[in-house]
Every structure is written in structure tokens, then in C-alpha cells.
Structure 1
Amino acid sequence: MPLEFVSSGQDDGLGFRESTLILPAVSVGNAGQLAVDLVICALSMRHVGNLRARCFAPVVGSQPHVEPGTQPGTRSSGHLCLSTEVYACRDKHLVVLQIRSPILKGQRRQTCRDLLAWVKETGFQQVVLLSSTQAQMRLDQELSGPQERHLISEALLKKVGSWPKTAGCLAFQERPAYAGLEDGGQICLRIPGGGITRTLYQHLCAAGLPLLVLLTFCSDGDNIPDALRLASHLALWLPPLGHQDTKLPESKEQWKIPSSWKLLYGSGIPDSLF
């Protein structure tokens, strides 16, 4: 079953054409998903619908973002949280697909094919994928310095032409096909712990679509700092992508923390236990 956009109101998705799509990969530490939450809050993006998809595990929960005008600490009257949510900022031509559940076993390639078909059908101008990869698989030269990396499709490179020349914008390097065989082993694109990152990158590149992958090295644990760095890294790339008027914080101290993160590690230990 192909992906189908289901509007939460009057938005039919036709206005997404020529917009930039930002989405996360369900990857190690969930850094991409956390970074997407930061972007949604920073731009006060409006929830416009969901994607109907059978390849993601079903999930339902309470409103993850406090709606504008809702007082902190009160219950929002907004939508329910589902496995795939679509947010939009029309004046900035930005659309976000937030993915809140893992891909079902054996559905990874089909998911990439479905996402490719939806991107082409909707007419997105370009795609930005936020992801992460296992820190323990870094090469020796990657152990220090900035931990954010990027991959760029040929179609996007030809379209934009130049990229920010900062120390933090480093290309992701190919690595040995088998860990530990650095000398004389086969070199290829490996993104351990990256979920669908490599497969989606290959599918969109083969289709000639503009794609930028931003990823960070991290490990499972408290991944809020990783998400803050990844989101700040995204802010450096938006102007070259044609979003000069889209101002995102470039330092992690300036980001607005989503209200749903208050319970990211549970509700705390009840005093009644002591």
C-alpha cells in the first residue's frame, strides 16, 4: 500500500509542491527524530496531517507539542500523535515528516520505495534527511573534532553549486565493508545504526532527486545534546538550500525545548517511595 497523505483539516497536500521536505531516519539514539522535534518547535510549524502507511509500527499518543496559545502545564486540545505526522510552514516552503515508530521487520526497502514515490508524486523541491550512526564505528581520524557529517546527491550539488565552508561541514567518508579490515579491504558506504539512511540515499540518488543527508556520530543514552548539535548543523545548510529567511538557532543554548521532552526519561521518582 503506497503512502497516502491524510489531512487533519482543509490542507490537501497540493501546496507542498516546490517545498523542502525534512524527515528523520529511525536510527541510533533517535537523534534525527529529536532534532526534527526541535525544528517543529523553533518554527512553530502547524500540524497538517498524517501519512497512512503500513510499513511503520502503529502508535498513538497525546499531543507532543503544545499548540500556540496553550498555557504551559495545561492539556492541549490538539491532535493525537500517530506514527507519521506531517507539519508545514507554508510561508517558508518547509514541510516536516516526523516519524515516531520503527519500520516493521522486512519492510525497509519497501519503505524507501514508498517514500520515493510520495516525494515524486507530491513534487518536493528537495529532501533533507536527519540521521545518526554508531559512534563506536568511527574511523581514527573521526574520533576528534566535529561529529556531524553530510552526504549530498549529485542532483542537489548541481542545483545549488556551493555549500557553507565551515569546519563543521565535513563529508561522510566511505569505510571498510568489514570492521577491522582497514588495510586492503573493500571500501563502501556503510552507515551502521543508520536505519534506512543508506538505502533511502541510494534510492533518491538513483532517481536523480536532490537530497541532503545530515548525520551525527552518537551512542544510545542521553541523546539530547546530539539532537541539539544536529539541529544547529541543519541551520547552517538552510540558506544554501534557498531558505535565507528561515532563521534557526545556530547554537544549542538558543533552541526551544519541546514540552514533550519533559517526560523523555519518565516522570521522576515519586516522593511517596521514601
Structure 2
Amino acid sequence: MFVPCGESVPDFTGFTLLMPAVSVGNVGQLAMDLIISTLNMSKIGYFYTDCLVPMVGNNPYATAEEDSTELTINAEVYSLPSRKLVALQLRSVFIKYKSKPFCEKLLSWVKSSSCARVIVLSSSHSSHRNDLQLRSTPFRYLLTPSMQKSVVTKIKSLNWEEMEKSPCIPQMNDSELCIRIPGGGITKALYDESCSKEIQMAILLKFVSEGDNIPDALGLVGYLNEWLQIIKPRNDGPAAPALPWKLPSSWKLLFGSALPPALF
């Protein structure tokens, strides 16, 4: 499934895998763009899979004309060995009935490559929140049992709120309670599969609505940064310290090109 760019397969032993879920507002994917661009992570390979809709495009992280013509595809892997981070970016949607096989193959690769843990960045429909969720922070986390053992103390110190269980059948209060993530794409499937395979996984998500989701992506990477300390805050004055996330060049066309002046 994983195909390296070079002749040898990189060693991911002890690495943390960061990846998005293709979910409402594409918030996880936008957040991954920010991480890859800010850390200037190097592309080391790609995933060869028939589970995603095929696509090809120009380099989304181009910084000069020379590298703007490099091609990118639907599932690519980036790495930052100095921080023991590896990132999987997904750029297209899943083919019908192919999301579960993808999750199984991905997590099998995680185990065979000896990654220490997986962190999934995701989102969920804000319109599906209950009264308690409406009155609290829009961010939630979810940990597999094997992950809880290793990070429970750190997570408690952050005062984060865990994803609540809700009726498995909506609108039926006497229904059995379970984890539901409406609009979360493969998030729940990844979580369930990781629990059964005893993989250390954390889900970080934000309740969002469709629209301009750049602020949601910035909020989600800031939420992740509280835990991993990927980058340090920048303090330019009396205002609250800001996180210097680098917006990728591809975001200039996130909503299409500007209106042609001739229109007016």
C-alpha cells in the first residue's frame, strides 16, 4: 500500500502518524495542510490504493516556480524525522463501500511500520450537537483503550472534554448509548478498528458547519498544538501570543480565482 519515493523504505519506529478524516468542511485536511506547510515536511512516498477517487494536481505547497509543477495525488506521505512525525494527507473522497477496506489496510500498515501512535484530525456536524455540547467548547477528543494508558495524565492536565456517548438511534432516548460522529467520514471506523487491533489512536475533532472552514482548521491545529507543542507561540506585542502557522500557497485558490474586472 505504501510506496516510498526513494529506493529504501523509511523507518517509522516510534513515530507519531498524523492524518485527517475526510469529514464535514474538510477541516482535518485543511489542518494537515497547515502542519505540512508550517513544518516544511518532506514528501517521502504515497499510498497506492483503489479506495479513493483518483486525482492529480500541482504541488499544493509550492514556494517557488521551480517546484510548482511537481505533481501530487490523492494520498501522500510526508515526514519530519527530527520530530518523529509522519503525516498522511488525503485529497479525495472514498469510493462507495471502500472506506472500511481502506481503514483495515491503513492500520495494518501502521502496525507493520511500528508507528507508536496515530492522531486523527476530524470534524462533526455542529447541527447535531446536544444541549450539553452547545453550552461547551466545540472541541472534543476520543482515545482508544491502549492510548488512554499512555496519555491519560497529560490529557487530564489540558482539561479537554471527551466525546460524549449519545443514543445509537437518534431521537430515541431509551436507545443504547454509543459514540456517534455525524459527518465524520471514516473517523468512527478508524476508531473501532484501532480498538480491536489495540492500536494507540487519538481522535481530535471540532464541531463545524460547511462554509469558510479555514478558522476551524486553525482552531483544530491549535488544539493539537496544546498537546504536542509542534510549534511555539509568537509574541509580537501586548496581544495574546499567536501561533505562526504557514498557509500553503494552494489556499490562494481555495474559493476559486477572483472575479474578472470585465464583469463590471
Q: Pairwise mapping of residues 112-123 of structure 1 onto structure 2 (< 5 A)?
A: 112-123=103-114
In 1, Cα distance between the equivalents of 2:242 and 2:77? 24
Give the 3 Å change call, closer, same or farther, for CA 60–230 of structure 1 in structure 2: same
Q: Which one of the candidate residues 21, 24, 41 is aligned to 1:25?
A: 21
Q: Pairwise mapping of residues 1-274 of structure 1 onto structure 2 (< 5 A)?
A: 4-10=1-7, 12-67=8-63, 70=64, 74=65, 76-77=67-68, 79-164=70-155, 165-167=157-159, 169-181=160-172, 183-238=173-228, 246-247=230-231, 249=233, 254-274=244-264
Alpha-carbon displacement from aligned partner over 1:122-164 (angstroms, at most 9, x marks no partner): 1111000010011011010111332111001111121234124
CA RMSD of aligned residues (A): 1.8
Counterpart of 2:198 in structure 1: which amino acid?
G
Identity of aligned residues (%): 39
Contact 1:216–1:226 (Cα < 8 Å) also in 2? yes
Partner of 2:237: none
Contact 1:42–1:248 (Cα < 8 Å) also in 2? no
In 2, Cα distance between the equivalents of 1:121 and 1:248? 32
In 2, Cα distance between the equivalents of 1:49 and 1:61? 16
In 1, Cα distance between the equivalents of 2:54 and 2:233? 33
Give the 3 Å change call, closer, same or farther, for CA 151–249 of structure 1 in structure 2: farther
TM-score, normalised to structure 1, is: 0.88
Post-superposition offset of 1:66: 1.9
Counterpart of 1:66 in structure 2: which amino acid?
A
Contact 1:235–1:249 (Cα < 8 Å) also in 2? no
Post-superposition offset of 1:7: 2.1
Unaligned runs of 5+ in 1: 240-245
Counterpart of 1:7 in structure 2: which amino acid?
P
Say how many residue pairs are matched: 257
In 2, Cα distance between the equivalents of 1:158 and 1:62? 42
Give the 3 Å change call, closer, same or farther, for CA 52–248 of structure 1 in structure 2: farther
